[in-house]
């Protein structure tokens, strides 16, 4: 009887194997959303904005969006700056005179729908000095770098940093909850296998709003600090761009204007 049961079980398993097929799950194929990447740095001569659309789960390509109308308005002076579409979802304008402390409004008109967001240009602290330690880390086998700046004691501050090395780019966000008003530093550790004497480090620091801090922190927590938070964002995380025509058809991305300071350092 036991042998008969084993034979039946064998043929049943063959039936299961023969019925196996690839299953393709339908992940949000029907609701493409507009993605507005409008992260602008005031010190750069050319301001750029990129438009694309979300696509289905199995695609790595994001369709580019041309033919939109884009402008930024200085809400203090009522000056309007119109972007030029040069193709492949890229929109450019040169020589905008951004002013620290001023409020700016982004308007994007696409497919008969109007998207609006606002941003305030915040001051960013200067990078005062850099400290290098060659025996950093718990085991003493890493490079340690500290970039020093003075935090403003009269306000709550939030920051975004970017570190470029020859092998990687990393991003980070933090606030001054525990070091308000102090001479503060941003710490980086690198393995000596990934960095050597003579390599160039490019460090950037930017003051950001609390809302933008929360937005970027969510993106970085999902994607990891080594991923680019300015790339096309996850569909579950909304930014500050509101569809004025159809609230249900929200856009992804964020509008933010920032004064970014940087420091170029050669590893010793």
Q: Which two tokens stand for residue 223?
A: 């994607």
Residue 5 has pLDDT above 50, yes or no: no
pLDDT score at 2:
40
pLDDT in tens, 79-106: 999 999 999 999 999 988 999 999 999 9
pLDDT score at 3:
42
Q: What is the rounded average pLDDT of the residues 99-122?
A: 97
pLDDT score at 236:
66
What count of Cα atoms within 13 Å lies in the side-chain half-sphere of residue 262? 15
DSSP lists the bridge partners of residue 80 as 73
Residue 9 has pLDDT above 80, yes or no: no
Name the pLDDT band for 7 (thresholds 50, 70, 90).
very low
CA-based angle 106:173:116, to the nearest 5? 15
Q: What is the pTM of this model?
A: 0.82
Percent with pLDDT over 70 in the chain: 81
pLDDT in tens, 124-161: 999 999 999 999 988 888 999 999 999 999 999 999 99
All structural domains of the chain? 34-122+224-260 (2.60.40), 127-208 (2.60.40)
pLDDT score at 58:
53
Residue, of 44 and 55, whose pLDDT is higher: 44
Q: To 10 degrees, the CA torsion angle through 215, 217, 222, 227?
A: 100
Q: What is the rounded average pLDDT of the residues 206-235?
A: 77
> What secondary structure letter does DSSP report for 58?
T
Cβ-contact 239, 118 below 8 angstroms: no
Q: What is the distance between the alpha carbons of residues 134 and 196, in angstroms, rounded to a whole number?
A: 11
| Alpha helices for the chain (secondary structure H) | 2-18, 210-223
pLDDT score at 54:
86
> How do strand 142-150 and strand 183-191 relate by DSSP bridges?
antiparallel
């Amino acid at each position: 009887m036991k042998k008969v049961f084993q034979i039946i079980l064998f043929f049943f398993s063959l039936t299961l194997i023969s019925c196996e097929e690839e299953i393709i799950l339908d992940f949000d194929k029907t609701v493409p959303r507009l993605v507005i990447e409008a992260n602008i740095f005031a010190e750069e001569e050319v301001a750029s904005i990129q438009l694309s659309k979300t696509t289905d789960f199995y695609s790595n390509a994001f369709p580019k969006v041309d033919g939109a109308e884009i402008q930024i308005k200085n809400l203090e002076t009522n000056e309007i700056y119109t972007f030029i579409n040069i193709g492949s979802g890229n929109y450019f304008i040169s020589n905008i005179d951004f002013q620290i402390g001023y409020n700016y409004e982004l308007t994007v008109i696409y497919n008969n729908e109007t998207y609006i967001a606002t941003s305030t240009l915040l001051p960013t602290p200067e990078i005062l000095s850099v400290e290098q330690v060659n025996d950093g880390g718990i085991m003493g086998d890493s490079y340690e770098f500290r970039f020093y700046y003075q935090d403003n004691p009269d306000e709550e501050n939030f920051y975004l940093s970017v570190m470029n090395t020859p092998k990687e780019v990393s991003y980070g966000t933090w606030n001054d909850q525990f070091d308000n008003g102090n001479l503060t530093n941003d710490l980086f550790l690198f393995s000596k296998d990934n960095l050597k004497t003579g390599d160039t480090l490019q460090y950037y620091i930017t003051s950001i709003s609390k809302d933008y801090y929360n937005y970027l922190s969510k993106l970085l927590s999902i994607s990891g600090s080594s991923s680019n938070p300015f790339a096309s964002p996850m569909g579950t995380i909304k930014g500050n761009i509101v569809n004025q025509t159809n609230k249900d058809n929200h856009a992804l991305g964020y509008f933010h204007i920032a004064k970014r300071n940087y420091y170029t350092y050669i590893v010793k």
